[in-house]
Amino acid sequence: MKSKKLSEKIIKTFKSNGFVLSEPDVLLDSEYIIQRSGENFRRSILAFENEDGKVMCLRPDLTVASCIKFLEKKSKSKIYYSGQAYRRANKKGSNLINEQLGIEILGSKNQLKDDFKVIKTILDSAKKTKSKKILIKVGDIGLFKKLINSLEMPERWKLRLIRHFWRPNYFEELLKRLEKNSDIDSVNFNTDKKRFYEMKKMKQEQLIAGRSVSEILKRFDKKIKDPRSFNEGKKIVKIIRSFLEINCQLSTLDNKLLNFAQKNNLEKNIFKEFKSIQNLKKLNQEVKFITNFRRDIEYYTGIVFEIISGKKEIARGGRYDDLLKSLGAKKNIPAVGAAINLSNI
């Protein structure tokens, strides 16, 4: 660790907030991670073959490693960890090894309370670093999903936009296609249809890229049955782009969202359920809300945030209610967590 004394102070804060130590495994089954996690992990993992010929990888993410340990019934539900994450990064000069101190609430039963608990605990811990002025940036993936599901467009487009929101470059390509009303070509559509009937013969519980065959078939079925024509793409894209431009202080967010809904003829209470965001006003801390935020990790489903000191990100986290199921749980297990990156302090 960069500073044993600093780490001890942060860990003391974690303990005082009821988190208990968990030490997730450093080595993970590479095939397990590849099958059940998103594309970002497939590109970033550092894998090797052991003496038995099994492909293993260094943990690319301590949240994923902690979830795996929890599912193996080897940890409590409210944990903290201290250790290293190993992953390739797209940015030149980025660290291959990141020293982290983090917390997770696995099996979160009270979203409003637990979201605030994690952010407040991480914020209090970040202040122990005696860094420069601290700023919190926050978003909510759920807001985007709520918007998309409220818009009048074919189901296939809703599924695409939500599924690929975490891939900014491809998402932008989708918007351009939607804007021009240029759907998938007939060759691709026929390929999808052929694959649909092939997969109907497979075991329905079999996992492919983290989703069961039955889940994939449901998507295929909607795509095949959905009408091909759609002429409102340009209007829909304008609304989506306008939404993704919202960038404001938390104190002005209510009015921003209300004005956005009124301007685009949406229900005025469309965003009323997102209490975790509004609850952050109790932090007595500068908070900036950004709709187009934290789109580089696929497993986030709700509130997302990062803590900035100067020009460096020193902590990040968010809610991930689907991750544990993708890692093998029988049903969705609500969860929220965050980590301090000691490498940036």
CB 261 within 8 A of CB 271: yes
CA 112 from centroid of its chain's CA atoms: 17
Residue 96 pLDDT: 83
Alpha carbon distances (Å) from 9 to 14, 16, 101, 127, 130: 9, 11, 11, 10, 12
Question: What whole-number distance in Å separates Cα of residue 79 and Cα of residue 336?
Answer: 11
C-alpha dist (Å) from residue 123 to 216, 255, 281: 39, 26, 13
Q: Beta strand 134-140 with 303-309: parallel, antiparallel or unpaired?
A: antiparallel
Work out the widest C-alpha separation in the chain, in whole angstroms: 63
Beta-bridge partners for 136: 287, 307
Dihedral sign computed on CA atoms, order 71, 72, 78, 81: negative
Q: Mean pLDDT for each 10-residue chunk of the chain (345 residues)?
A: 80 96 92 67 81 88 92 92 84 76 95 96 88 87 93 89 89 90 54 72 77 76 57 90 96 93 90 87 91 81 91 91 90 95 83
Q: What is the pLDDT of residue 40?
A: 62
**pLDDT for res 37:** 60
pLDDT of residue 41: 66
Which of 108, 141, 107 lies closest to 277, judged by CA?
A: 141
**What is the spatial distance between Cα 194 and Cα 248, in angstroms, rounded to a whole number?**
47
Q: Please, which residues have CB within 8 angstroms of residue 300's CB and are 6 or more apart in sequence? A: 141, 166, 294, 318, 319, 320
Q: Which residue is listed with tokens 């990888």? A: 57
Strands 134-140 and 287-290: parallel
For position 187, what pLDDT does the model report?
A: 43
- DSSP secondary structure of 322-340: SHHHHTT-SS---EEEEEE
According to the model, what pLDDT value does residue 213 have?
A: 77
**325 is written with which tokens?**
């199921």
Where does the chain show beta strands of DSSP type E? 20-21, 27-29, 47-49, 55-58, 78-86, 97-106, 134-140, 207-208, 211-212, 247-249, 287-290, 303-309, 312-319, 335-341
Tokens matching residue 183 = 């759907």
Kindly list the structural domains of the chain, giving each domain's residue range(s) and its CATH number in brackets, ordered by start.
Answer: 1-130+320-345 (3.30.930.10), 155-244 (no CATH)
pLDDT of residue 193: 66
Helices (H), 135-232: 141-150, 155-163, 168-179, 186-199, 213-225
Q: Considering the entire predicted model, what is its pTM?
A: 0.81
